[in-house]
Chain A
Amino acid sequence: DADVTQTPRNRITKTGKRIMLECSQTKGHDRMYWYRQDPGLGLQLIYYSFDVKDINKGEISDGYSVSRQAQAKFSLSLESAIPNQTALYFCATSDRLAGSSYNEQFFGPGTRLTVL
């Protein structure tokens, strides 16, 4: 079974609709992240959460909101979807290793979102 899962894997929606993307993990990691990926732009951080009560905006949070329902669940919402939010969205997790220089991020399989 996958350690980091995302639902749905593909979604087509219309402008103005509210959309929720969900992420669950069984890795036991404290830290969770949402990224979007556009061709030629790499991964851009939308929101990140270092624990259930600690949620922070990333580089491109406008138009998005998140909810950390539990250590293992982190949801991303688009309150009113617009076409330029069409992208590939990834959830990622990482462990909290105090004093360590190495904390790999593990990625989910991604959600391909198309906003018409």
Chain B
Amino acid sequence: QKEVEQNSGPLSVPEGAIASLNCTYSDRGSQSFFWYRQYSGKSPELIMFIYSNGDKEDGRFTAQLNKASQYVSLLIRDSQPSDSATYLCAVRRTDSWGKFQFGAGTQVVVTP
């Protein structure tokens, strides 16, 4: 079992709709959770981080964390063609401060 799992997609989303991405992790010692966006051939860039249970909103993005169920999700509201990218979930463990474990990523395609 991979430590961090994501559906590879592609997730096809109509423009203006909500994209919902999920990420599950296996290590209960995980402490912080990050969502990165990566355009094809480019480097990952941070969208959001979350470390407390519940929701965290930033503009059109909402991260949701449920440590008991060991999942973290990302919602993209009012999806735009520029949101078409691969979204990487990253998890940091308490006992390995500074080391991240990345999921394989979910490809999102926003269709006009």
A-B contact count (CB 8 A): 50
- Which one of A45, A90, A101, A107 lies within 8 Å of B99 (CB-CB)? A45
Set of chain A residues within 8 Å of B49, measured between Cβ atoms: 102, 104
Q: Which residue of B lies closest to A105 (CB)?
A: B100
Let me know if A42 and B32 touch, CB within 8 A. Answer: no
Q: Is A94 positioned at the interface, with any CB of B under 8 Å from its CB? A: yes
Let me know if A102 and B42 touch, CB within 8 A. Answer: no
Known contacts A42-B88, A101-B32, A102-B49, A31 near B43 by CB under 8 Å: no
Tell me how far the C-beta of B54 lies from the nearest C-beta in chain A, rounded to whole angstroms: 14
Chain A interface size, under 10 / 10 to 19 / 20 to 34 / 35 or more: 20 to 34
Let me know if A108 and B43 touch, CB within 8 A. Answer: yes
Chain B interface size, under 10 / 10 to 19 / 20 to 34 / 35 or more: 20 to 34
Let me know if B98 and A107 touch, CB within 8 A. Answer: no
Query: Which of chain A's residues 77-116 have a Cβ closer than 8 Å to chain B?
Result: 88, 90, 94, 96, 101-105, 107-110
- Which one of B32, B92, B102 lies within 8 Å of A43 (CB-CB)? B102
Q: A42-B104, A44-B102, A102-B32 are in contact. List 17 more A-B contacts (CB 8 A).
A: A31-B98, A40-B8, A41-B104, A42-B105, A43-B88, A45-B100, A48-B99, A96-B98, A102-B51, A103-B92, A103-B97, A103-B98, A105-B90, A107-B44, A108-B43, A110-B41, A110-B42
